[in-house]
Amino acid sequence: MSRRERRKHNRKAGSIPAGASLRPITNLPPSPLPTREGGRPATPLAGAFSANGGATNLSGGSQMPPGEPLLPNVGVVPSDGGPRQFAYPVGYNIAQRPRATEQTSFESLRNLASLYDGVQICERVYFDLLGRLELRVAPRADLLADGEDARAPRWRNPAAAIEGFLECPDRAQDLRSWLVAFVRDILEVDAIGIYRRRDRAGRLYALELVAGDTLKPLIEQHGRTPQPPQPAYQQFVYGVPAGWYTTDEIDYLRETARTESVYGLSRVERIILRVNQALRKQDFDMARFTDGSTPLGLIAPPADLAWTPEQLRTFEQTFNGLLAGNDQMRVRAKALPPGATWQSLLGDDPLIAFDRFLLNVTVAAFGLTMDELGFTETSNRSTGLTQEGVVYRRAVAPVAGLVAGYLTRIVRREIDPRFTVSFGGFEEPEDFAARAEAFARLIPTGAISPSDAARALHLPVAHETPAYILTRMGPVLVDDLITGKVKVNPAAAAGSASVGEPVPDEEDAAVGNDQ
């Protein structure tokens, strides 16, 4: 059928009226959503979109339009119309052990961390650094009066009570031991639970640590943490579900929070491939000193040796049986048939460079340097100080900030909202020296008082010293300049006098001119 014949056929069929021309359709109604009884949208929506009846008009009647969005699936959107945090598995809260929805289980992370000595050495460095932290409880800066010292008696007594509680947070071990257990779970599995035990009066009694790998965070319809009185966490012990706990009972902390999962991302999990390589390398090295499947070498008998295959096999079994698993016989000389030669199949270097590469990756993931682990072959005084600053910034400061932030929230919520918890003793030495030098230049100009500079450097203030300006005639108090007790000599601008020199009055000037 030709084009003209098809056109006639369509006109007869009524598809295109006779004399009509093809024009873009611009008056299409908006695409509505399915409605319930009463005209409300079947899918919950929020804001102006819901007020519009759930209709969309994104194309605007234009040619080659983007089209209207697909209709939301009824039941997928939460009842209040808000979005889900992530596409969590259907039935996530139902009888699933902690981290069962992740690629790596808690048990695997624990085993990898305990088997690889590189992770253990890095953790040991963290534990040693935690022993250097100094607990500090101070009032909030906005509550201090002008020039008031945070160590004033009205602040010192309540701060001492808070420090006394935090020196033994769980009423069983000191703060350092508590921090070691806290940081270990953060480094290995990035999950730690703290149970807030209360006394009979409902006051906070202890902060008891709970192994993070036994806790499963629960979620509500948005994929977020349920609020009380709904349970937010469930503990699994011995492979079976145990108690339910709300956010008022257990605090669940992670170092690396993620939007696509309720679990964190530990430092061990970040380098899980390298840790597996290191473990396989350790197995390979261990096989070199035990019964391995790869022979260390071959013994080539002389060409004129008239041994049968059975005799060669017997000699081979006897020779290997004499050395296998016997370290004493390995170091003794052995006699071979005359003319036999030895061909080694393994070099003397057991891939030490690969071991160092894997250790470097592990050290970097933990924010440390090789110097902190005791490997100082390429270190000197200059690089040592620089690498020490790296450790403070990337290892100690983030962990100390995480713990201090949590303890500050607990103190303000449960004990006294006026105080802040922090840790000292890990500041970078070069930073302290640079700040001290800067304050030493500012103090003689009167920009800051020696007492305020000492507080900024966290040094004790035995006596209050006001701000002053150092001149050629000695120090001049800034307050005296403000009150007019000491005048500024205009000649100081020309360099003939210093700020704070007494200005001669008119009579003295006249007597001087007569003489």
The model's pLDDT over 453-504, given as tens digits with 9 standing for 90+, comes to: 888 887 888 788 899 998 888 888 888 888 877 776 655 433 444 444 444 4
Question: Which residue ranges in the chain fall short of pLDDT 50?
Answer: 13-16, 20-31, 36-37, 39, 46-48, 51, 492-515
List the structure tokens of 276. Answer: 């597996």
Q: What are phi and psi of 83, to 5 degrees?
A: -80, 160
pLDDT reported for residue 98: 95
The distance in angstroms from the start CA to the end CA of the chain is 131
Q: Residue 68: is it exposed, middle or buried by C-beta count within 10 angstroms (0-12/13-18/19+)?
A: middle
pLDDT reported for residue 507: 45
341 neighbors 303 (Cβ within 8 angstroms): no
Kindly tell me the sign of the dihedral angle through the C-alpha atoms of 358, 402, 197, 159.
Answer: positive
pLDDT reported for residue 509: 42
Kindly tell me the sign of the dihedral angle through the C-alpha atoms of 492, 498, 503, 504.
Answer: negative
| HEC per residue, 143-188 | HCCCCCCCCCHHHHHHHHHHHHHHCCCCCCCCHHHHHHHHHHHHHH
What is the H or E stretch that residue 253 is in? strand 250-253
Instruction: Pick left, alpha or beta for residue 474 (phi over 0 → left; psi -120 to 50 → alpha; otherwise beta).
Output: left
Angstrom distance (rounded) from CA 226 to CA 373: 43
Enter the pTM of the model: 0.69
Contacts of 83 (CB under 8 A, 6+ apart): 77, 222
Angstrom distance (rounded) from CA 81 to CA 77: 6
DSSP code for 202 = S
Kindly tell me the sign of the dihedral angle through the C-alpha atoms of 25, 30, 34, 39.
Answer: negative
Structural domain spans, the chain: 21-83, 84-294+353-427, 296-344, 442-514
pLDDT reported for residue 7: 63
Question: In Å, how far are 4, 23, 25, 59, 488 from 18, measured between CA atoms?
Answer: 14, 14, 18, 29, 102
